[in-house]
A and B are shown apart, each in its own frame.
Chain A
Amino acid sequence: MLLAGVGDGPSLSAHRARFGALPTPDLDAVLSAVGAAAVAGRGGAGFPFARKVAAAAAGKRRHVVVVNLSEGEPASAKDTALALLAPHQILDGAEVVARALRTKEIHVVTPQERPAVADAITRAVDERAAAETRGGRGGPRWQLHSAAPGFVSGQAQAVLELLAGRPGLPVTAWQPEAISGLDGRPTLLSNAETWAQVAAVLRLGPLRYAAHGTFAEPGTTLLTLPHESDPDTAVVVETAYGTPWVSVLGAAVDRPVLLGGFHGTWAGAGVLAGARVSRVDLQQQGLTLGAGVVLPLPTGQCPIAFTWEIVDYLAGQSAQRCGPCRNGLPALAAEVGRLATGNPAVSWTRIAELVGLVERRGACAHPDGTARLVRSMLTTFDDEVGLHLAGRCGR
């Protein structure tokens, strides 16, 4: 549904020719449609979009709409793919909801480290502005921003800081941004894919949207996977909920798979083999799909060493602002490193202790995500962890 028009090219005229004019639902119609379609945030947290809109709508001050394209996770490419292939799908979602909220202020945040995204969005916004001028209407005021490189720059509070003209680093949120966001105004900030899904729901209506997916989880989700023969190349696929994992992953379905990317959780070998793509099913097993990054463990690789590499990277991506993260992540990475290398000084208890010391003790979810990954490694690979504690690897 999101990528249906890829063959037509990314232009506004091709987009309108295929998908028709921008729908103009009022706020109640928006709320009931996105509620019925159970649209949830695709940035990783999975918060119900309808609740976010309702919270923002209750605010009295002028609303702000924010499109977040700043994919900090290097293994994710879905928002980049959307921006390059179907930018108007994203912008439609933001514009329809902004109109329903009677605001013209829409901010779009692109990642500096992926300049093609900003180029594609700039082109798309220019096309829309030109079309508005020709039509003699007053369109939204699109304001583009560039987020600095880094894993945490795409985090919601960091993005709001950037929009406020301060360094784009995470700060403590005392209230959800839908209630008090940019300059204390009600701010509807969502990930690019979320906006594209919203556009699809509002264009098709919840019933036709539900032609794909399952009863509990209508629609599709974007997944980013490594290319089968060239793992350094990311492949983005749009997958209907309920699709068997084997048809997404092929033979890799039998391997351990890291779901949800660097802040994600490990599905053990074979766990996905008979399963279908479903956030609900995964959640019941303590797993998360997060922003849709799916990384099968490369053949012959040690899962502990693989996880260590990621934890080490994540420790380096701390914004260095919050004490527990600044101190705890490097200590955690070092201890996981001792485990991975079979260092006799390693202590399982120390790893568990450090996980507890960083969790929920920061302005953003970076320490929590890192802790989740390590925790999941300890449980999913308990056999391998045991071997490593005994100084062996087994691979």
Chain B
Amino acid sequence: MNRTIRVDWPSCAARGLCAELLPERIRLDEWGFPIVEGEVTPELARLAKAAVSACPHRALRLVAAR
């Protein structure tokens, strides 16, 4: 089952590591906050987990895609 990345917006401080670690799915808006596009396919799962755990504010979560 595919998953997707959800942002805990109040926690996000626009550090931008996620976009560096998972450019396949995350880019940054003009203020530096993540724009998440598309689901996390099994091939991307490892990179996505790395991006989630690299967030200094723990503002990302992998959740089931709806």
Contacts and interface: CB of A to CB of B under 8 A. Distances in A.
Interface string A306-350: 000000000000000111110110000000000000000000000
B31 A327 contact: yes
A348 to B, nearest CB: 18
Contacts of A361: 7, 9, 33, 35
A296 interface: no
A327 B7 CA distance: 16
28 contacts: A169-B10, A170-B10, A171-B10, A172-B6, A172-B8, A172-B9, A172-B10, A172-B11, A174-B6, A174-B61, A174-B63, A321-B10, A322-B9, A322-B12, A323-B9, A323-B14, A323-B32, A323-B33, A324-B31, A325-B9, A327-B31, A328-B31, A357-B29, A357-B30, A361-B9, A361-B35, A362-B9, A363-B9
Given A171-B10, A321-B9, A362-B9, 20 more contacts: A169-B10, A170-B10, A172-B8, A172-B10, A321-B10, A322-B9, A322-B10, A322-B12, A323-B9, A323-B32, A324-B9, A324-B29, A324-B31, A327-B31, A328-B31, A361-B7, A361-B33, A363-B8, A363-B9, A363-B10
Interface string B13-54: 110000000000000011111010000000000000000000
A323 B61 contact: no
Contacts of A328: 31
B24 to A, nearest CB: 19
Contacts of B12: 322-323
A283 to B, nearest CB: 21
Contacts, number: 41
Interface string A172-188: 10100000000000000
Interface of B: 6-14, 29-33, 35, 61, 63
The DSSP consensus for interface residues of chain B is loop
**Top 6 closest pairs, chain A to chain B, by CB:** A322-B9, A321-B10, A323-B33, A327-B31, A172-B8, A363-B9
Contacts of A170: 10
Contacts of A362: 9
Nearest to B8: A172
Contacts of A322: 9-10, 12
Contacts of A172: 6, 8-11
A169 B11 CA distance: 13
Nearest to A323: B33
A35 to B, nearest CB: 24
Contacts of B14: 323
A324 B10 contact: no
Contacts of A174: 6, 61, 63
A171 B7 CA distance: 11
B8 A323 contact: no
A323 B32 CA distance: 9
A363 to B, nearest CB: 5
Contacts of B7: 361
Interface string A143-180: 00000000000000000000000000111101000000
Nearest to A171: B10
Nearest to B36: A361
Contacts of B8: 172, 363
A331 to B, nearest CB: 9
B45 to A, nearest CB: 20
Given A170-B10, A172-B8, A363-B9, A324 B33 contact: yes
